[in-house]
Structure 1
Amino acid sequence: MSVPLLSVRTPATSANLGSGFDTLGMALSLYNLFEVTERLPEGEYRSEAIGEGALELADPGRNLVVRSYEIACRRFGVAGTGFALRSHNVIPLYRGLGSSAGAVVAGVLLAQELNGLTLPREELLRTMVEIEGHPDNVAPCYLGGMVVSCWDGSELRTVRLPALPEDLLVVVAVPDVQVKTREARAALPEQVCFGDAVFTLGRAALLTAAWATGQWDLLAWGMDDRLHQPYRAKLFPGGEVIMDRVREIPGCLGVAISGSGPSVVALVKGRPRRVAETLCGTFSEHGVRSQFFVLDGNGSGAVVQRTFPFEKASSSQGVASGGKG
Structure 2
Amino acid sequence: MNPLITLRVPATSANLGSGFDAIGMAVSLYNIFKVMEILPRGEYKIEAHGEGSRELSQPKANLVVAAYEETCRRWNVEGPGFSLWCHNIIPLCRGLGSSAGAVVAGVLIAKHLTGHEADDDELLREMTLIEGHPDNVAPCYLGGMVVSCWDGKDLRYVNLPALPPEVLCVAAVPDERVKTSDARDALPKEVAFSDAVFNVGRAALLTAAWATGKWDYLKWGMDDKLHQPYRSKLFSGGDVIFSRVQELPECLSVAISGSGPSVIALVRGTTHRVAEAMCRTFTEYGVRSQFFVLDGSAQGARVDLSMELPDALKNVGVK
Q: Normalising by structure 1, what TM-score?
A: 0.95
Structure 2 match to 1:318: none
- State the shift of 1:310 in Å: 3.3
Query: Where does residue 260 of structure 2 map in the other structure?
Result: 261
1:16 corresponds to: 15
Which residue of the partner structure matches residue 34 of structure 1? 33
SS at match of 2:309: coil
**Partner residue, 1:179:** 178
SS of match in other structure, 2:298? coil
Give the Cα–Cα distance (whole angstroms) in 2 for the partners of residues 57 and 128 of structure 1: 20
Q: For 1:149 and 1:96, how far apart are their aligned partners in 2? A: 18
- Distance in 2 (CA, whole Å) between partners of 1:104 and 1:264 is 23
Residue aligning to 1:190: 189
CA distance in 1, matches of 2:190, 2:81: 45
1:117 paired residue number = 116
Could you say which residue in structure 2 is the equivalent of 1:209? 208
How many Å apart are 1:121 and its aligned residue? 1.2
Aligned length: 313
- Aligned equivalents of 1:116 and 1:129: distance in 2? 20
After TM superposition, give the deviation of residue 95 of structure 1 in Å: 0.2
Q: Which amino acid aligns with 2:115?
A: G
Partner deviation per Cα, 1:219-275 (whole Å, 9 max, x = no partner):
000011000000000000000000111000011000000000000000000000000
Residue aligning to 2:87: 88
- Would you say the 8 A contact 1:105–1:141 is kept in 2? yes
Deviates more, 1:160-169 or 1:302-311: 302-311
Report if the CA contact (8 A) 2:100-2:137 is conserved: yes
Aligned pairs (5 A) from 1:1-325: 2-311=1-310
Q: CA deviation at 1:189?
A: 0.5
The list of structure 1 runs, each at least 4 consecutive aligned residues, that deviate by more than 2 angstroms after superposition, is: 308-314
CA contact (8 A) 2:4 2:309 kept: no
| Letter paired with 1:153 | G
Superposed displacement of residue 109, structure 1: 0.1
Residue 75 of structure 1 deviates from its aligned partner by: 1.3
Over residues 177-228 of structure 1, what are the superposed CA-to-partner deviations in whole Å (9 max), with x where a residue is unaligned? 0001111000000001101111111110000000000000000000110000
- Conserved 8 A contact 2:202-2:224: yes
Q: Which amino acid aligns with 1:266?
A: A
Amino acid at match of 2:56: L
How many Å apart are 1:115 and its aligned residue?
Answer: 1.6
Distance in 1, Cα, partners of 2:308 & 2:118 = 17
Q: Which amino acid aligns with 1:29?
A: S
Cα shift readout 1:133-166 (whole Å, capped 9, x = no counterpart): 0000000000000000000000100000000000
Measure how far apart 1:42 and its partner are. 0.6
**Would you say the 8 A contact 2:145–2:297 is kept in 1?**
yes
- Once the 2 structures are TM-superposed, how far is the Cα of residue 17 of structure 1 from its aligned partner? 1.1
Equivalent residue letter for 1:112: K
**Are 1:115 and 1:311, in contact at CA under 8 Å, matched by a contact in 2?**
no
Give the drift of 1:120.
1.2
Contact 1:116/1:310 (8 A) holds in 2: no
Secondary structure (helix, strand or coil) at the match of 1:239 reads coil
* Matched-pair contact (CA < 8 Å) for 1:116–1:311: no
| TM-score of the superposed pair, with normalisation by structure 2 | 0.96
Can you list the C-alpha shifts for 1:282-314, whole angstroms capped at 9, x where unaligned? 000000000000000011000000123434989
In structure 1, distance between residues paired with 2:188 and 2:161: 33
Q: Is the 8 A contact 1:142 1:302 kept in 2?
A: yes
Give the AA of the match of 1:212. Answer: A
Aligned CA-pair RMSD: 1.2
Deviation for aligned residue 1:3: 2.1
Show structure 2 runs of 5+ residues with no match: 315-319
CA distance in 2, matches of 1:32, 1:263: 18
For the 8 Å contact 1:168–1:267, the answer to whether it is kept is: yes
Cα shift readout 1:92-145 (whole Å, capped 9, x = no counterpart) = 000000000000000000000112233111111100000000000000000000
Distance across 2 between alignment mates of 1:310 and 1:52: 28
Partner of 2:317: none
Aligned sequence identity (%): 66
Amino acid at match of 2:4: L
AA aligned to 1:91 is I
SS at match of 1:240: coil
Letter in 2 for 1:177: E
CA contact (8 A) 1:115 1:310 kept: no
